[in-house]
Structure 1
């Protein structure tokens, strides 16, 4: 599995537009093959910060997601509204049982 995270500060003036754009992007992304989950969240400790959490089946699904023209357009629009390109981290992950941590 691939996990992608990103976070960014939201300027108050464009907050509603940014949230609507992010919700639209997540809904579209969840319909793509290989998407396990795709969510935009509000940081409870800093309500002016939004956080993306995505889970993808594999690298091929992520590559296909990044190749979708709407994904590139989303990043351009979000960057213009936020003022900076959001920092993104990508991780390879495998499930771990709590019993195995013992």
Structure 2
């Protein structure tokens, strides 16, 4: 499984636009083959930080997402939205266990 955790500092003046684009990206991505989970969230400590948490069945599914028209459209617009450097982590997970709380 591939897990992506992406953090984007958003320009406060571009926040609403960023949220709209993120919502569109989430809606399109959840229907992709091999996408297990795809979520976007605003950080509760800083409402100008947008985070994506993504899970894919395998590297091929992730690469297909990166090559998709909806991701490419988001990526093209992203530089206009940013207020700093993004951080994107890719994790390859061989085992995952759901914890009971």
Distance change in 2, residues 1:60/1:18 (3 Å): same
* Match of residue 71 from structure 1: 71
3-state SS, counterpart of residue 77 of structure 2: helix
What per-residue deviation string (whole Å, max 9, x for no partner) do you get for residues 67-93 of structure 1? 112212211112222255632111111
Q: Secondary structure at the match of 2:37?
A: strand
Q: Does 1:88 align with 2:88?
A: yes
Q: How large is the RMSD of aligned CA atoms in angstroms?
A: 1.9
Of structures 1 and 2, the larger Rg is shown by 1
Tell me which stretches of 4 or more aligned residues in structure 1 moved more than 6 Å: none
- Whether the 8 Å CA contact 1:5–1:88 is kept in 2: the answer is yes
Gaps (5+ residues) in structure 2?
none
TM-score (norm 1): 0.85
Q: Which runs of 5+ in 1 are unaligned?
A: none
Bigger helix share: 1
Find the counterpart in structure 1 of residue 46 from structure 2: 46
TM-score by length of 2: 0.86
